Amino acid sequence: MYRAPVEDIAFTLKHVAGLKPALDAGTFGDLGEDLVDAILAEAGRFASEEVALLYKVGDEQGAVLKDAAVTMPPGWKALYRRWIDGGWNALSAPEEFGGQGLPTMLGVAALEMWNSAAMAFGLGPTLTMGAVEALDKHASQALKAKYLEKLVSGEWMGTMNLTEPQAGSDLNALRARAEPAGDDTYRIFGQKIFITYGEHDLTDNIVHLVLARLPDAPAGTRGISLFLVPKFLVGDDGTLGARNDVFCSGLEHKLGIHASPTCTMIYGDGFEGASPGAIGWLVGEENRGLACMFTMMNNARLAIGMQGVAVAEMATQKAIAYANERRQGKAATYGGPGMAPIVHHPDVQRNLLTMKALTQIARAISYSCAHAIDCARVSHGDAAHWRDRANLLTPLAKAFSTDVGVEIASLGLQVHGGMGFIEETGAAALYRDARIAPIYEGTNGIQAIDLVARKLPLGGGEHVHGYIAELAAVANSVRTSNLRDFGRTADSLDQALDDLTEATRFLQGLLADGRSDAALAGATPYLRLFSLAAGGAYLARGALADQGRLPLCRFFAENLLGEVRALKERVIGGAESLADAGKALIST
């Protein structure tokens, strides 16, 4: 059973990601550590004692579609009601519309706990929170007044409708169309697939944010607009009116996250005799919808990163508990009767420590990204610096954390041995859930491309080097601490950060020379290289603040951080062989 690691979460927020210095400086007004601790403790209690209890029924029974209506698993509707009654949906939402206006850092920390307890549950609010941010930044005052308060409270939920059968990650191929109706509304026609929580019975209304093209729109992504399309139309007094012409025609049968309804949505097909055309309202400017949607997508990418952290945490907890119970063979460190608990075997210890270290690294990167988002929002003179930092860390938070989620869930299966392959232990379910996260909200390959092509040039190409210099300062603090228990940590960190610097300048040079294909060939290993090097520094920062964390930091530095050197060689020397060998794969 999941137990929220409130102490680890609070420590990482305060002493690794930067929340405590911000609180001490009054960055977030009257917010203090006591309130932060109370919020985290209650979120941990709710996740452990209420959400986690319904994980198994959600996984086994899933969401069910009948007559265009989706019914959630038993108990989930009541759970969601208790969740919004607790104010959790409004945690980081704008105060103007009933939100609590708390830092993003607290929102993502709570999100980690919901997703550890039941990833399929945590997914739904993720999209609603993203919709709130997109509407708050881009919608008209009339739309904000009508929809935001109920989205902020969670009384209504939101969705994000991008993908179509012929258009996955390439939004140039979108065909959904929007026709002006002459009364400030539009009629939306088309099909969207893989829409998370597109239909369900948790709320009375669902607010869809839909990408579509106007009749005279330019080709490509420059001709995409964003529209708000509610499941039920809303009167001026906020009451629900007629059903809109949008419905769920299919529910995907998925590898994991069974309780999260993944829907095929049909717009403008004359549902239940309605006049064809789903009624929608423009969000932002015509043909500028992608910019509006990216507000929501960037929010979602960090949230998906938290899902990777969440599954990694749950898999690690489960594996450690099993390793202390399961007995097999003999071990030099075990002096008790009978066979030794497998936690005494060095290879099992290596797996468990790898799981713990990678989980903490992913958490630190993601929380640091959230910290940068918060600082960009409240800072004045250095807001641009923090926006660049948030942009730099977002692909790391999304891609590395979700890759790690899959890796750690797989290691958890390995620790369980044959029982890990059996559903009753729950280890397999975590692997099934985790596997989607590297795919959606921009595959991790796309995140790597974004990091290299768009984020390395930030600040004239120097922002990334300023960040590396901050990490190097941590390595220097390790060296000057004279703590013998750090072992070779300082040397390992120095080497990893030198490798990161060399790989970074190499890629920046390729981009400057117009050799983007060669640069992108190394994008995926570069993202992992970057994350491991940064993660080593974050573990060291934590160990400097609490020496009880030093053994894990040293284990990572001396056992896992050496991967950075091999990754650098792939970045610098792998492009030509990749291109040559890749030709054999191309059939057309």
* In a domain? residue 355: no
Catalogue the long-range contacts made by 380-385 (C-beta closer than 8 Å, 24 or more residues apart).
Answer: 385/459, 385/463
Domain that holds residue 58: 51-86+118-286
* In a domain? residue 369: no
* In a domain? residue 151: yes
What confidence tier does 186 reach under pLDDT thresholds 50, 70, 90?
Answer: very high
* Residue 528 in this model has a pLDDT that exceeds 90: yes
Q: What's the rounded mean pLDDT across residues 152-171? A: 89
* In a domain? residue 159: yes
Percent of the chain residues topping a pLDDT of 70? 100
* In a domain? residue 347: no
* In a domain? residue 411: no
Q: What's the rounded mean pLDDT across residues 503-531? A: 97
pLDDT of residue 227: 97
pLDDT of residue 188: 97
Q: Of 286, 310, 342, which one is at a domain's C-terminal end? A: 286
* Residue 577 in this model has a pLDDT that exceeds 80: yes
Percent of the chain residues topping a pLDDT of 90? 91
C-alpha closest to that of 109 among 53, 43, 55, 45: 43
* In a domain? residue 41: no
pLDDT of residue 454: 96
Range name among 169-173, 234-238, 446-450 with the lowest pLDDT average: 169-173
Q: Of 270, 286, 302, which one is at a domain's C-terminal end? A: 286
* Residue 321 in this model has a pLDDT that exceeds 90: yes
Model pTM score: 0.96
* In a domain? residue 511: yes
pLDDT of residue 221: 81
DSSP per residue over 271-319, as a string? GGGPPSSEEEEEESSTT-HHHHHHHHHHHHHHHHHHHHHHHHHHHHHHH
pLDDT of residue 274: 86
- Beta strand 225-230 pairing with 278-283: antiparallel
For 404-458, the pLDDT digits (tens) are 999 999 999 999 999 999 999 999 999 999 999 999 988 999 999 999 999 999 9
Q: In the numeric block, which tokens belong to residue 130? A: 């993203």
Q: Of 286, 309, 336, which one is at a domain's C-terminal end? A: 286
**Which CATH number does the domain housing residue 141 bear?**
2.40.110.20
User: Mean pLDDT over all residues of the chain?
Assistant: 95
358 has which bridge partners?
none
Query: Which residue among the candidates 164, 199, 313, 441 is catalytic per the annotation?
Result: 441
Q: What's the rounded mean pLDDT across residues 16-21? A: 97
**155: annotated active-site residue:** no
**Total of domains in the chain:** 2
For 196-227, the pLDDT digits (tens) are 999 999 999 999 999 999 998 888 888 899 99
| Rounded Cα–Cα distance for residues 450 and 71 (Å) | 38
Distance in angstroms between the alpha carbons of the first and the last residue of the chain: 51
